[in-house]
Amino acid sequence: MNNPHDPAILAKAETLVEALPYLQRYAGQTFVVKYGGHAMGDPDLAHDFAEDVVLLKAVGINPVVVHGGGPQIGAMLKKLGVESRFVDGLRVTDKATAEVAEMVLSGAINKEIVRWISGAGGKAIGISGKDGGLVTAKKVERTTRDPDSQIEQVIDLGFVGEPERVDTKVIKTISDAGMIPVIAPIAVGADGETYNINADTMAGAIAAALGAARLFLLTDVAGVLDKDKKLLTDLRPADIARLQQDGTISGGMIPKLETCVHAVEAGCEAAVVLDGRVPHAMLIEVFTSRGAGTLIRV
């Protein structure tokens, strides 16, 4: 028989007690989780992620997973001899590239995540923005300024889209049936074309439409860092604008934070940027007073 005075057992009990107010607060709420990056390619981290999602569902929270797959798309394009070109971090997507992206995202990656969740004891259904009219896309428009003439030029990114409308009925149907939606960032436009959507952007739009309690962007960094490389744990939109202006925030973190700001201003309670390489980072963020990433709220 285990010794009830064993420090390890007591520590587990204290952890559960610490989690109680958070369990009560979030029961029945929705969490949208953008899953990608290094964590997706590491089997141990993928297993931890699946366990976390299943645990959230088991305690009465409704997780919704939106996944990326840029590296996997790039690998398949290379294998097929299709050259990739990027503008401002977005892949220029012609018809052939769009077909490969859909094959990789809605096929191999989506079903692998479903398999991981099933292996952890959950029930997941893999869909894309096409299913049930979940997301209607519109073509992304980008402009650039010629450095010599200073004339703005329109850049055609091909079949790269962004969410124009989100119909949450299919997500709610899946969640209400006790299952976990796993969503690939592919959608159809009003023009009938298929568009590849940035996974962060897709997750943000879905979180806003659902009025989610949390949007989690799992990344390959600890969160938003100040100039001394210390984690900033709580930011408002005005803070983000200031940090971007003074150069503290730069590169790929800018579009992630723009997604977070758009989501919280459109109905999501709060967004969190956190390190998907840390085992159980989501649970630490949600169920402890310490937190694990950068919280963005209005």
The reply to whether 7 falls in a domain is no
Strand partners, 190: none
- Burial label, 71 (beta-carbon count in 10 A; 0-12, 13-18, 19+): middle
DSSP three-state, residue 95: helix
The reply to whether 211 falls in a domain is yes
CATH code of the domain in which 45 resides: 3.40.1160.10
Residues 176-202: tens digit of each pLDDT: 999 999 999 999 999 999 999 999 999
**Greatest CA separation for the chain:** 80
Domain residues for the domain of 36 are 27-296
The reply to whether 98 falls in a domain is yes
> What burial letters (b/e) apply to 173-184, b meaning 16+ CB within 10 Å?
ebbeeebbbbbb
The reply to whether 14 falls in a domain is no
Residue 60: both structure tokens together? 């009465």
Q: Quick one: CA dihedral 159, 160, 166, 171, positive or negative?
A: positive
Domain count, the chain: 1
Alpha carbon 178 to its chain's center: 21
The reply to whether 10 falls in a domain is no
The reply to whether 20 falls in a domain is no
Q: How far apart are CA 6 and CA 245, in angstroms?
A: 52
Residues 54-101: tens digit of each pLDDT: 999 999 999 999 999 888 888 898 898 888 777 766 678 888 889 999
The reply to whether 2 falls in a domain is no
Strand partners, 137: 163, 189
The reply to whether 17 falls in a domain is no
Q: How far apart are CA 238 and CA 298, in angstroms?
A: 9
Q: CA–CA distance from 138 to each of 61, 157, 191, 238 (Å)? A: 31, 12, 9, 28
Residue 150: both structure tokens together? 């200073």
User: Helices (DSSP H) in 231-295: which residue ranges?
Assistant: 237-245, 253-265, 281-287
In 3D space, the residue among 179, 62, 170 whose CA is nearest the CA of residue 123 turns out to be 179
Residue 214: both structure tokens together? 């949390």
pLDDT per residue, tens digit, the chain (298 aa), is 566 667 777 777 887 888 888 888 899 999 999 998 767 778 889 999 999 999 999 999 999 999 998 888 888 988 988 887 777 666 788 888 899 999 999 999 999 999 999 999 999 999 999 999 999 999 988 777 666 776 777 778 889 999 999 999 999 999 999 999 999 999 999 999 999 999 999 999 999 999 999 999 998 888 899 988 899 999 999 999 999 999 899 888 888 999 999 999 999 999 999 998 888 989 988 888 777 899 999 9
Residue indicated by tokens 């073509």: 139
Residues near 230 by Cβ (< 8 Å), separated by ≥ 6?
A: none
